[in-house]
């Protein structure tokens, strides 16, 4: 009986030891899983910070590209065109050139009868004729106007005896950004127009 009791006690100890080993074995994966979770969480936080930093950098480095736009400011009535200036409505300095076309028209002002030479009224202060265009010989600042294109008012209606002649004068303006060069180092205005307005004024 005593020996049987000893065997039972020893078997119970063995079973308890085996149970403890199993519990330890089960704990190990839990610790590993915990470490893995911490590492993943750290990686996620790090990725989020990197993303937020990248977005912030992009916002800080935003810029407004240059735009070149213009409008023709004229003073005229039915008898004459008295003033023509070009306004730079963009946000950067620009060079300006204009083409001026004159036509004699019928009394409805719709049908063209013939050409009307207005060159004697053009090339006012700061303007130079080169080819088919009149170039303003300086850079025009954003929001600024060119000098006066006309040297004298252009008649739009002329009466001689019993006849009245009607004329139409059309001004077309072009603007190009003053700064900038091509990949070959050529001024953008020279590359586009084949003319350097600064050189025309010298």
Give 120-165 pLDDT, tens digit per residue: 999 999 999 999 999 999 999 999 999 999 999 999 999 999 999 9
Claim: this prediction has a pTM higher than 0.95: no
* Residues 146, 107 contacting (CB under 8 angstroms): no
Residue 120 CA: distances (Å) to CA of 91, 107, 130, 181: 33, 24, 15, 35
Residue ranges in the chain assigned as alpha helix (H)? 2-60, 188-193, 197-200
Kindly provide the b/e burial profile for residues 102-112, where b requires at least 16 CB atoms within 10 angstroms of the residue's own CB.
bbebeeeeeee
Each residue's pLDDT tens digit, 59-77: 444 445 678 999 999 999 9
């Amino acid at each position: 009986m005593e020996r049987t009791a000893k065997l039972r006690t020893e078997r119970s100890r063995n079973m308890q030891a085996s149970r403890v080993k199993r519990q330890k074995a089960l704990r190990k994966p839990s610790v590993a899983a915990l470490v893995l979770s911490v590492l993943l969480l750290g990686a996620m936080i790090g990725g989020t910070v990197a993303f937020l930093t990248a977005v912030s950098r992009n916002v800080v480095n935003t810029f407004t590209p240059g735009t070149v736009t213009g409008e023709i400011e004229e003073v005229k009535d039915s008898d004459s065109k008295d003033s023509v200036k070009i306004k730079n409505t963009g946000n950067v300095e620009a060079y300006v050139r204009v083409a001026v076309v004159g036509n004699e028209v019928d009394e409805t002002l719709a049908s063209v009868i013939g050409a009307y030479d207005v060159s004697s009224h053009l090339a006012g202060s700061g303007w130079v004729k080169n080819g088919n265009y009149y170039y303003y010989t300086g850079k025009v600042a954003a929001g600024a106007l060119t000098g006066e294109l006309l040297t004298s008012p252009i008649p739009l209606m002329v009466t001689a005896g019993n006849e009245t002649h009607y004329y139409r004068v059309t001004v077309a303006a072009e603007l190009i950004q003053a700064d900038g060069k091509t990949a070959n180092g050529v001024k953008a205005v020279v590359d586009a127009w084949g003319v350097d307005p600064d050189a025309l004024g010298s």
